[in-house]
Chain A
């Protein structure tokens, strides 16, 4: 099968993504969207922020434009830039401008990874002005009510150098995400992978063990995403202890003693 090529604004989520609500996040997002308020998703890695935004894009029937932020991302990368074609300059919209123009959901993932001078370009879009100034072409792009700005960040592992500025964060409606409770997390793993409930429950127990080690040698515990990876490997015939080692332990630490301890924990469980 050939991979499909789409323009960013043509990316509609057609099939309903699996998403288990934890709290009132769906209702809050819908209300924020209706009121043209931007949304900030906070939470540890792999807890379902990206899945949630995909679900909301499907529910609201808007195209989803995702930008994975990094420290080399410039304002031009978001807004747009001139290119040269046939000896002439032509303007190409960046993902943010495209999202505004087409009334899409623009999702800036891990926004604190960008430099602070880049983050400020979203400010006029994130308050009641709802405009994107495009200085290089001398235009201002006004967002319609269909456009939505959403950003995400993980408050857990950011350094002080990469904290989100107050002037940025105080423009958003914030939704706090965390790992789901054990019952829900087990249910998610069963639904996502089709493994039996007992194995899923043991995987969740293992995740809790690693989360208890946060701050005692681990920066982060195992995320729901990693549990899903491990469960998929198990469903494919890999032994649970091996799956825990390769899909979870090895991905969250390189420390030899910690890896051994995690191996001992998983072999105690399975």
Chain B
């Protein structure tokens, strides 16, 4: 039954409450008088949305209430919700003023929404465009979004949204064509000459460059026509739709020259002076722009780096080959003569191979073909793309200490030193966080770092074994029973061997006139455990003392018995302070052996700060994606509610943790919590579900209980 619409007073009361009018002093009568005219369903929608946004900021929520009716008139409810959430995202990332402008600039949002309905959006298409790009031959390029399409020869930048054409599919095709055009620039050598040098000294450099770019587009189109004829047809179709084919036809003669297989970037350069500016066609829809300075910077760095890496790799190959030859020929040592420069040669591919144009050339050393590693092949392919050949100066093996390759490696900042100097985000993982009041995620909210735990080689391990000697013996026994062993099943209809008892019995039956039974075989039934488990250990400050001690002992005992079972397991500690410092402490990774280092790390588990749980659960869920197992189990050892220095305390933290556990469940991960918090029954059933937690009243019982619970959890 439909409810009666709310009165103005009801609406004002509702707005007064959620906008905290006693403190904010906002005037709610104006929005209320507008809202009252709506049907009840829409009234509820606006009031609910206002309440959700008020959880983030009151002023923002008030603006929303004032503009929501106009938004509802122009858009569907889900788009109005998206508008409100865009504003809260802006608030999270940029502050109140940008968020307010999202609300106030409603027309712009509506306009964008319409465009998005028929346009292609980079973020949505990147998951298809990236593998498409990687499928095209050559260097493995990156893909990113920028205001205009261009490439720096390592990354292709595409606009965040394309709305040039009326249909979404056509706009997607335009993305594809733009991508292929920029790929072709790299692959077919547009940048094999320094265009800045050529066109910067001329007074008409801009005009000349414009003419060059138009000619080069025709050449690249011809390359695409040869390599990717289907895509070429699509590109022609796009040009036709945008009336750009006339441009092309104007230069028919030049196009014939540029379409010849041997034409290169030099052909385009030579033809520049033969065309008049007034004949110069406009840019094709997929052409983007040239960013020559970005190209020069990136290319110079890469060429130097790859030359060094290639020559060093060649020196290794030369050394191995010479040693091999020496071993084959004489008994003497095969050290190459020092001071001798090893020269390599290139064997050109045959005609059919070269059609692939991917730099598939072969290396020769002393007249013999040499096997090339994946690393060398990738380098050769990339060098080939830059030069159209492997330059002869690249083919001399590097001398000893000629290069220091470490200077080409990306310098990595230590995640552990994040607070020691300037705050940095290198090597971090960023996760969303659920805001229950907003009923929406804070995007890219939590910053997680994996931190190495320093091993401490003390007597903790031995002390634990001695202390729990009796317990460990019984745990070992109970886990040995669980171990997946082959069982001999008797009286089976099919099997590897004859069940003699059944057979003798059957012979007796036959002699007495009965029918021969069928179940006369034995069969080995193979039990297989395929369990992967990750233990998430609370390292918050509240675990200081007995709890920390009991957690560590539990982990030692558990690891001892898990070794018997053969289940794969990992152990991580978690703690942190605020969303910007969530730290996951690596104690044992899933494929690491349980050795002295792991034991020494367990020994060094120390209480840290707070327990912001959701982000860690999301991170571990992501880790589980790379682990193949029939059963994936996440067990949390904790001593209290999720908590942090900021607003994470209370309902917010519980709900975010619950949401992250729900996300884990959707990925097929079973979660279980073992806690020492006596009040946990008030919140754990809500977070983990009624049967997925255990409360341990006595800290001393933890070592026994953890293993016992694990045994129960992983048996049918």
Contacts of B503 in A (CB 8 A): 84, 89
Stretch at the interface among A58-66, A167-175, A209-217: A209-217
Are the CB atoms of B134 and A257 closer together than 8 Å? no
Contacts of A212 in B (CB 8 A): 134-137
Stretch at the interface among B284-292, B328-336, B347-355, B572-580: B347-355
Q: Is B387 an interface residue (CB 8 A)?
A: no
Q: A205-B227, A262-B131, A264-B176 are in contact. List 17 more A-B contacts (CB 8 A).
A: A75-B496, A81-B497, A89-B498, A115-B526, A136-B497, A183-B353, A209-B137, A213-B135, A216-B130, A216-B134, A257-B128, A258-B131, A262-B135, A267-B234, A268-B230, A268-B234, A270-B229
For B177, the closest partner residue in chain A by CB is A268
For B173, the closest partner residue in chain A by CB is A264
Contacts of B356 in A (CB 8 A): 182, 205, 208
B141 to chain A, nearest CB (A): 11
For B520, the closest partner residue in chain A by CB is A84
Chain A 245-270 interface residues, beta-carbon cutoff 8 Å to B: 257-258, 260-262, 264-270
CA distance A195 to B675 in the complex (A): 67
Are the CB atoms of B135 and A265 closer together than 8 Å? yes
Are the CB atoms of A269 and B228 closer together than 8 Å? yes
Contacts of B358 in A (CB 8 A): 208
Residues 121-157 of chain A: 1 if any B CB is under 8 Å from the residue's CB, otherwise 0? 0000000000000001000000000000000000000
Are the CB atoms of B132 and A261 closer together than 8 Å? yes
Q: Is B507 an interface residue (CB 8 A)?
A: yes
Are the CB atoms of B352 and A186 closer together than 8 Å? yes
For B507, the closest partner residue in chain A by CB is A87
Contacts of A84 in B (CB 8 A): 498, 503, 520
Contacts of A242 in B (CB 8 A): none
Sample of 20 A–B contacts (CB below 8 Å): A74-B496, A74-B524, A84-B498, A87-B516, A89-B498, A89-B503, A115-B526, A136-B497, A182-B352, A183-B353, A186-B352, A201-B352, A212-B136, A216-B131, A257-B128, A261-B129, A261-B130, A261-B131, A261-B132, A269-B228
Q: Is B54 an interface residue (CB 8 A)?
A: no
Q: Is B46 an interface residue (CB 8 A)?
A: no
Choose from A201, A205, A208, A265 the contact partner of B132 (Cβ within 8 Å).
Answer: A265
Contacts of B228 in A (CB 8 A): 268-269
CA distance A268 to B228 in the complex (A): 5
Q: Is A193 an interface residue (CB 8 A)?
A: no
Contacts of B230 in A (CB 8 A): 241, 266-270
Contacts of A208 in B (CB 8 A): 137, 356, 358
Contacts of A217 in B (CB 8 A): 131
Are the CB atoms of B229 and A264 closer together than 8 Å? no
Q: Is A181 an interface residue (CB 8 A)?
A: yes
CA distance A34 to B62 in the complex (A): 89
Q: Is A82 an interface residue (CB 8 A)?
A: yes
Q: Is A76 an interface residue (CB 8 A)?
A: yes
Choose from A72, A82, A186, A210 the contact partner of B135 (Cβ within 8 Å).
Answer: A210
CA distance A181 to B358 in the complex (A): 13
- Tell me what chain B mostly uses at the interface: helix, strand, loop, or mixed: helix
Contacts of B352 in A (CB 8 A): 182-183, 186, 201
Q: Is B180 an interface residue (CB 8 A)?
A: yes
Q: Is B337 an interface residue (CB 8 A)?
A: no
CA distance A212 to B135 in the complex (A): 6
Are the CB atoms of A264 and B132 closer together than 8 Å? yes
Q: Is B127 an interface residue (CB 8 A)?
A: yes
> How many interface contacts (CB-CB < 8 Å) are there between A and B?
90
Q: Is A159 an interface residue (CB 8 A)?
A: yes
For A72, the closest partner residue in chain B by CB is B526
For B172, the closest partner residue in chain A by CB is A264
Contacts of A209 in B (CB 8 A): 135-137
CA distance A183 to B350 in the complex (A): 9
Contacts of B516 in A (CB 8 A): 87
CA distance A91 to B449 in the complex (A): 63
- Which A residues are within 8 Å of any B CB, using their own CB? 72, 74-77, 81-82, 84, 87, 89, 115, 136, 159, 181-183, 186, 201, 205, 208-210, 212-213, 216-217, 241, 257-258, 260-262, 264-270
Q: Is B510 an interface residue (CB 8 A)?
A: yes
Contacts of A213 in B (CB 8 A): 131, 134-135
Q: Is B231 an interface residue (CB 8 A)?
A: yes
Contacts of B279 in A (CB 8 A): none
Residues 332-371 of chain B: 1 if any A CB is under 8 Å from the residue's CB, otherwise 0? 0000000000000000001011011010000000000000
Contacts of B497 in A (CB 8 A): 76, 81-82, 136
Are the CB atoms of A260 and B136 closer together than 8 Å? no
A16 to chain B, nearest CB (A): 26
Q: Is B197 an interface residue (CB 8 A)?
A: no
Choose from A159, A182, A269 the contact partner of B353 (Cβ within 8 Å).
Answer: A182
CA distance A31 to B628 in the complex (A): 41
Are the CB atoms of B353 and A82 closer together than 8 Å? no
For B179, the closest partner residue in chain A by CB is A264
Contacts of B136 in A (CB 8 A): 209, 212, 265
Are the CB atoms of B496 and A76 closer together than 8 Å? yes
Are the CB atoms of B180 and A268 closer together than 8 Å? yes
Contacts of A183 in B (CB 8 A): 350, 352-353
For A202, the closest partner residue in chain B by CB is B229
The interface centre, meaning the residue of A213, A267, A268 with most chain B CB atoms within 10 A of its CB, is A268
A34 to chain B, nearest CB (A): 24
Choose from A87, A182, A261, A265 the contact partner of B510 (Cβ within 8 Å).
Answer: A87
CA distance A209 to B356 in the complex (A): 11
B518 to chain A, nearest CB (A): 10
Chain B 520-543 interface residues, beta-carbon cutoff 8 Å to A: 520, 524, 526
B225 to chain A, nearest CB (A): 11
Contacts of B140 in A (CB 8 A): 216
Contacts of B135 in A (CB 8 A): 209-210, 212-213, 261-262, 265
A243 to chain B, nearest CB (A): 13
Contacts of A205 in B (CB 8 A): 227, 356
Are the CB atoms of A257 and B127 closer together than 8 Å? yes
Contacts of B137 in A (CB 8 A): 208-209, 212
Contacts of B180 in A (CB 8 A): 268
A133 to chain B, nearest CB (A): 16
Contacts of B176 in A (CB 8 A): 264, 268
B694 to chain A, nearest CB (A): 31
Task: Identify the 7 closest CB pairs spanning chains A and B, nearest first.
Answer: A268-B231, A261-B131, A209-B135, A76-B496, A257-B127, A183-B352, A268-B228
Residues 486-504 of chain B: 1 if any A CB is under 8 Å from the residue's CB, otherwise 0? 0000000000111000010
A231 to chain B, nearest CB (A): 17
Contacts of A262 in B (CB 8 A): 131, 135
Chain B 613-668 interface residues, beta-carbon cutoff 8 Å to A: 628
CA distance A208 to B604 in the complex (A): 50
Are the CB atoms of A81 and B496 closer together than 8 Å? yes
A210 to chain B, nearest CB (A): 7
A22 to chain B, nearest CB (A): 14
CA distance A262 to B520 in the complex (A): 53
A201 to chain B, nearest CB (A): 7
CA distance A208 to B131 in the complex (A): 13
CB within 8 Å for A260 and B128 given contacts A87-B510, A87-B516: yes
CA distance A265 to B137 in the complex (A): 11
Are the CB atoms of A201 and B355 closer together than 8 Å? yes
A92 to chain B, nearest CB (A): 12
Contacts of B507 in A (CB 8 A): 87
For B136, the closest partner residue in chain A by CB is A209
Contacts of B498 in A (CB 8 A): 82, 84, 89
CA distance A265 to B133 in the complex (A): 9
Are the CB atoms of B496 and A264 closer together than 8 Å? no
CA distance A77 to B229 in the complex (A): 53
A18 to chain B, nearest CB (A): 20
CA distance A257 to B507 in the complex (A): 62
CA distance A182 to B231 in the complex (A): 22
Contacts of A210 in B (CB 8 A): 135
A176 to chain B, nearest CB (A): 11
CA distance A213 to B180 in the complex (A): 17
A69 to chain B, nearest CB (A): 15
B581 to chain A, nearest CB (A): 33
